[in-house]
Amino acid sequence: MGGQIAFRGDHIYVARITRARHLARPASSLRWRPDASYLVTGGLGGLGLEVARWMVAQGARRLVLLGRTQLPARSAWSEIDPASRVYKQIAAIRELEALGASVHLASVDVADEAQVAAFLDGFRREGWPAIRGVVHAAGVLQDQTILELDARGLDAVFRAKVLGAWLLHRLLGGAPLDFFVLFSSAASLLGSAGQANYAAANGFLDALAHHRRASGQPALAINWGPWAEVGMAAEDARRGQRLAVRGIGSIPPEQGLEVLEWLLRGNASQVGVLPIQWAQLFQVLPQTRTSPLLSSLAREVQESEVVDDDEVAVRRRALRESLRAVAPAELSARLESLIAEQVAGVVGLTASRLDIHAPLNTLGIDSLLAVELKNRVENELGVVIPAVKLLELCTHDGMLPSDVTAEVCQVIGCGDAVEELREA
């Protein structure tokens, strides 16, 4: 994206991520109509229910929670296992009703046009209050590397995100909506290893928001970072660890909802919302520092925190010099220690707890984490690693030997690294 150029009339535009300093808090308050319904897709998911509670607290009185989940009949609710996810969903619905809301549960696949059309038609014919706002929060993850990605992997992620959003756009095209919010992801802004399908699906949401605004319809795409406690990222601790290594934190639900209110009262078409330490991201993934897309933020970091390529080069030279000074008999152990630190960081352990004799795949390193390991080792040693070989070793009982330096280097995909380090 960073290399794209758009010609519009006499002007030339390029894609750049910048801080949204222009988003001052609007003076007007968000109006919640007592005679309106508000639709939330993914409505029984953790994030959807957080949004629903917030809506009710703001003054919404009729919610439509739409999703594929089919809850038992109300007469059977008292028999549900308290430890089950269904029980928690039912408890959340009862909480909303206790707060004064009327909750309409719709078991509908948002990606199925016939189901969505039938539901909306029936909803209108039954005379329920008209839908005046939409939050499209439905979505699934199916992480795969580009090499592994197939049509099934694309379809699994595209259905809810892409088809669902497009159907809501089309089938509610004539409705006088106050807002149409698309829960996009920071993955479509920054990319994410193993999530090309997810990034592309959310990129569609971003484009749809701009399309709707250009045609005079309300729309807002929010490129959320990971939420704490709820949402897909919160359900995968390892994913959270990988993001934390890059300097990406989690959004507390109360803070995320405060930002949502702020943005709904504004006039933006697309805004990214994520807590991130840019200096840490540029250090862990140095190639991002030269990305045109992030050039504005990279300049900020250089000016405020003095992230300097020369400093990185000096650090690497110092490391290589220290390795040259190590006796040949000790070089293997020194390299192992360096590599073990990187592996430990990837799998979320301390180096002292890492079994350096265990196969990498038994340590939890799959093809996605292998990419992270590759980036970490390259950043530390300044050695270009063949990604294909590293992926093969990480997913086919690759070992991290402790007795021969050459074997250690082979595991990280650079068998000639010893000579390269000695000669540098």
Domain chopping of the chain, boundaries = 30-276, 277-307, 315-423
Measured distance between the N- and C-terminal CA atoms of the chain, rounded to whole angstroms: 35
The CA distance from 185 to 201, in Å, is 9
Provide the pLDDT for residue 424: 42
Provide the pLDDT for residue 365: 64
> What's CA 197's distance to the chain center, in Å?
12
Tell me if 203 sits within 8 A of 158, measured CB to CB.
no
* Residue bearing tokens 């222009």: 22
Provide the pLDDT for residue 343: 73
Tell me if 300 sits within 8 A of 18, measured CB to CB.
no
**Can you name the residues that pair with 267 across neighbouring β-strands?**
none
Half-sphere exposure of 37 (CA within 13 A, CB side): 20
Helix, strand, coil share of the chain (percent; to 5):
50, 10, 35
- CA 224, 228, 229, 231: dihedral to nearest 10 degrees? 20
Q: What does pLDDT average to in each consecutive run of 10 residues of the chain (424 residues)?
A: 77 84 64 92 94 94 93 89 91 93 93 96 94 94 79 89 96 93 92 84 95 95 90 66 78 93 90 87 75 81 60 70 69 72 70 65 63 70 61 49 37 42 44
The CA distance from 137 to 133, in Å, is 13
For 30-276, CATH gives 3.40.50.720
Looking only at the bridges linking them, the beta strands covering 102-107 and 11-14 are unpaired
Which tokens in the block code for residue 204? 């569609």
The CA distance from 208 to 227, in Å, is 23
Dmax over Cα atoms in the chain, in whole Å? Answer: 83
Sheet holding 131-136, edge to edge: 102-107, 62-67, 37-41, 131-136, 179-185, 220-224, 270-273
The CA distance from 38 to 172, in Å, is 12
Fold held by 315-423: 1.10.1200
Provide the pLDDT for residue 244: 77
H-helix or E-strand containing 135?
strand 131-136
The CA distance from 120 to 108, in Å, is 10
